[in-house]
């Protein structure tokens, strides 16, 4: 008996992959790597009406961007191909038939409209309708109909679904890796549809059959599946199969208020909930992506990993390999986690700072000569959250000041500052070796001989050169502007500042 770990990520191609889905994929990936197992990708496209073109590619591209590619599955191949459920359609029918023949499932001929009507009646009475042991005898199915009538209905091609015959009185229990024992009584479950009238299986059947065939050992999925887990257990029992180990992940919640994180929150909060930018093929509406917003894949992964899991130590920055190493199902939390943009940004800043300067320079300042571009990156590295801010920073830096910080001017512009700036204007003319260190040396020396305190003029010098009262290291800035530019900026500023007499 093989004890090889096999996990899967099984999204539906109904739109862009949600960030919660990405976290599910990540946890699956981490467990597989941690235990030397296999991570596979299966596409659950059994609902033909909700298929969205491009969604499958989007999923693959997202996983590739983050570096958590599956070992097996759609787009990769493997021993259990095909991995797209629509292409495995015929398989499921045979399993459903097996359940019919063993009496674990039955045909139901009730139309969707009939059931809706029944539901409406129940609802008007303040109760909920359940298709179960109590009601199925009064409905149109192979349990209530005579053998002849069933025969006839089937032969005449009357549409039907196959439903699981849920036992009336039984307690279903299973041990979840995250929630421990979960018990549910079958009286609160209904006879779920296994095969739809269009010949496609429902999620429940396809999922259980495929997880079994593909030898999945651990099912790691979102908490929204917890209520249907007992049904899946029942299915495994009906087939006589061993159920995999379940782990139901806590949900990702809205940053404000309550509820599941949704696309709407992203639009409202100005942050992405999708890994990559997505253009809706129907409406053309574009949704932001972590990548396009400027989040680095390592930062996105690290941030996501910590939403619902932690290593139990005080280390927060983890590479993917370190995550693999530290990961365990046991340390996943039970309660839902609110998405916090500030924390995401903080992670990104950490990774931006760690990023090789040369790469940032060539990727984000491609127009600028590499040596200078790297100097700019160094200058702004601590002041940006997203690397693409670099271009804007450099543009602002390079532009001639349009106006001068009036508050600083009001406070610091005095005759001593004027004297200092005049002295600086003269002395920089003589600097041959135009580098931050030598500029600093000369300016300091000049101010000292003039008997002017640094504090009295330096901020005015900054305002004169950049227009701003705050900014990066002035000496390095001067080096980057170049001697001629500095001289020009200084003389323009001096001409505009009010003239002060001694």
Partner RNA sequence: GGUCCGUUCGUCUAGGGGUUAGGACACGUCCCUUUCACGGAUGAAACACGGGUUCGAUUCCCGUACGGACUACCA
Q: Return the residues of window 254-273 that contact RNA according to CB under 7 A.
A: 258-260
Please identify which residue in 135, 228, 378, 438 interacts with RNA, judged by CB under 7 A: 228
Report the C-alpha gap between 453 and 420 in whole angstroms.
9
| Alpha-carbon span 352 to 298, nearest angstrom | 10
* CA distances in angstroms from 221 to 133, 182, 226, 485, listed in the order given: 29, 16, 9, 60
Residue 44 tokens read as 């659950």
Least distance from RNA to the Cβ atom of residue 36, Å: 25
The sign of the CA dihedral 22, 27, 33, 36 is negative
Q: Least CB distance from residue 44 to RNA, whole Å?
A: 3
Q: Which two tokens stand for residue 319?
A: 């590479």
CB of 97 within 8 A of CB of 194? Answer: no
Catalytic residue list contains 34: no
Q: Which of 24, 28, 46, 132 binds RNA (CB under 7 A)?
A: 46
1/137 with CB nearer RNA: 137
**Under rule CB under 7 A, how many of the chain's residues touch RNA?**
82
Q: Which of 80, 212, 263, 343 touches RNA by CB under 7 A?
A: 343
DSSP state of 302: H
Give yes or no for a contact between 370 and 358, defined as CB atoms under 8 angstroms apart. yes
Q: Which stretch binds RNA (CB under 7 A): 58-66, 264-272, 421-429, 457-465?
A: 457-465
Among the residue ranges 7-15, 76-84, 320-328, 357-365, the one whose residues contact RNA (CB under 7 A): 7-15
Q: Does residue number 294 form part of the binding site for RNA (CB under 7 A)?
A: no
Tell me the backbone φ, ψ of residue 221, rounded to 5 degrees.
-150, 175
End-to-end CA distance of the chain: 95
What residues from 308 to 327 belong to the interface with RNA (CB under 7 A)? 308, 310, 312, 314, 316
Torsion, Cα 92 93 94 98, to 10 degrees, reads 100
Among 86, 135, 144, 197, binds RNA (CB under 7 A): 197
Does 47 sit near RNA (CB under 7 A)? Answer: yes
Q: Under rule CB under 7 A, which residues in 464-493 are in contact with RNA?
A: 469-475
Annotate each residue in 378-417 with x if it binds RNA (CB under 7 A) or - if it does not, as one string: ----xx----------------------------------
CA dist 132 → 99, 229, 346 (Å): 17, 17, 51
Q: Residue 241 or residue 397: which is nearer to RNA going by CB?
A: 397
Select the span of 4-12, 265-273, 369-377, 393-401 touching RNA (CB under 7 A).
Answer: 4-12
Tokens 């946890």, residue?
27
Provide the minimum distance between the beta carbon of 194 and RNA in the complex, in angstroms, as a whole number.
9
**In this chain, which of 333, 426, 491, 496 binds RNA, going by CB under 7 A?**
333
Q: Which residues contact 256 (CB under 8 A, 6 or more apart)?
A: 269
Query: Which residue in the set 65, 225, 241, 397 belongs to the binding site for RNA (CB under 7 A)?
Result: 225
Q: Which stretch binds RNA (CB under 7 A): 73-81, 148-156, 337-345, 425-433?
A: 337-345
Is the CB of residue 12 less than 8 Å from the CB of residue 296? no
Which residue among the candidates 263, 338, 343, 483 is catalytic per the annotation? 263
Q: How many CB atoms lie within 10 A of CB 89?
A: 15
Taking CB under 7 A as the rule, does residue 203 contact RNA?
Answer: yes
Q: Report how far residue 423's alpha carbon sits from residue 414's, in angstroms, rounded to the nearest whole number.
A: 14
Q: Extract the runs of DSSP E, i.e. beta strands, from 197-342.
A: 218-222, 245-249, 252-253, 278-279, 286-287, 337-338
List the interface residues with RNA, window 105-144 (CB under 7 A): 110-112, 115, 119, 126-129, 131
Instruction: Supply 449's token pair.
Output: 């001989």
Choose, by CB under 7 A, the member of 184, 214, 329, 375 that binds RNA.
Answer: 184
Closest CA to 177 of 369, 334, 370, 359: 334
* 152 part of the interface to RNA, by CB under 7 A: no
- Give yes or no for residue 86 binding RNA (CB under 7 A): no
Closest to RNA by CB, 288 vs 345, is 345
Q: Which of 4, 331, 372, 435 is the binder for RNA (CB under 7 A)?
A: 331
Find the binding residues for RNA in span 348-377 (CB under 7 A).
Answer: 353
462 scored as a contact of RNA (CB under 7 A): yes
Neighbours of 501 (CB within 10 A): 5
Active site residues: 263
């Amino acid at each position: 008996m093989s004890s090889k770990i096999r996990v899967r990520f099984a999204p539906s191609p109904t739109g862009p992959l949600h960030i919660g889905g990405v976290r599910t994929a990540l946890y699956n990936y981490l467990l597989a790597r941690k235990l030397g197992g296999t991570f596979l990708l299966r596409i659950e496209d059994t609902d033909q009406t909700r298929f969205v073109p491009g969604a499958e590619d989007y999923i693959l591209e997202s996983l590739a961007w983050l570096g958590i590619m599956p070992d097996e599955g759609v787009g990769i191949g493997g021993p259990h191909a095909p991995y797209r459920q629509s292409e495995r359609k015929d398989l499921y029918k045979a399993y459903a038939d097996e359940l019919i023949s063993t009496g674990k499932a039955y045909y139901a001929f009730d139309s969707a409209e009939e059931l809706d009507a029944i539901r409406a009646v129940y609802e008007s009475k303040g109760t909920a309708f359940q298709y179960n042991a109590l009601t199925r005898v009064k409905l149109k199915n192979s349990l209530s109909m005579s053998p002849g009538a069933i025969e006839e209905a089937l032969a005449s091609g009357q549409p039907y679904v196959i439903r699981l015959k849920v036992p009336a009185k039984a307690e279903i229990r299973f041990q979840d890796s995250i929630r421990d024992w979960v018990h549910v009584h079958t009286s609160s479950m209904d006879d779920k549809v296994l095969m739809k009238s269009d010949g496609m299986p429902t999620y429940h059947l396809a999922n259980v059959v495929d997880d079994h065939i593909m030898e999945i050992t651990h099912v790691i999925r979102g908490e929204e599946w917890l209520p249907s887990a007992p049904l899946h257990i029942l299915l495994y029992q009906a087939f006589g199969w061993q159920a995999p180990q379940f782990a139901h992940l806590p949900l990702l919640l809205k940053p404000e208020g309550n509820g599941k994180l949704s696309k709407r929150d992203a639009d409202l909060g100005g942050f992405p909930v999708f890994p990559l930018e997505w253009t809706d093929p129907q409406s053309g509406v574009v949704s932001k992506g972590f990548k396009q917003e400027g989040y680095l894949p390592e930062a996105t992964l690290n941030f996501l990993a910590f939403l619902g899991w932690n290593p139990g130590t005080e280390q927060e920055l983890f590479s993917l390999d370190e995550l693999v190493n530290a990961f365990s199902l046991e340390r996943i939390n039970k309660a839902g986690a609110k998405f916090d943009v500030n924390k995401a940004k903080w992670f990104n800043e950490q990774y931006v700072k760690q990023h090789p300067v040369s790469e940032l320079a060539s990727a984000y300042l491609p127009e600028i000569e590499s040596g200078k571009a790297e100097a700019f990156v160094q200058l702004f590295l601590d002041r940006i959250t997203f690397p693409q801010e670099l271009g804007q920073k450099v543009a602002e830096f390079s532009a001639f000041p349009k106006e001068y910080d009036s508050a600083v001017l009001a406070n610091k512009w005095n005759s001593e500052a004027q004297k200092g700036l005049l002295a600086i204007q003269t002395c920089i003319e003589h600097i041959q070796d135009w580098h931050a260190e030598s500029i600093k040396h000369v300016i300091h020396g000049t101010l000292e001989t003039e008997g002017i305190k640094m504090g009295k003029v330096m901020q005015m010098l900054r305002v004169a050169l950049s227009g701003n009262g705050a900014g990066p290291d002035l000496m390095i800035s001067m080096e980057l502007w170049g001697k001629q530019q500095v001289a020009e900026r200084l003389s323009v500023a001096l001409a505009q500042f009010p003239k002060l007499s001694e």
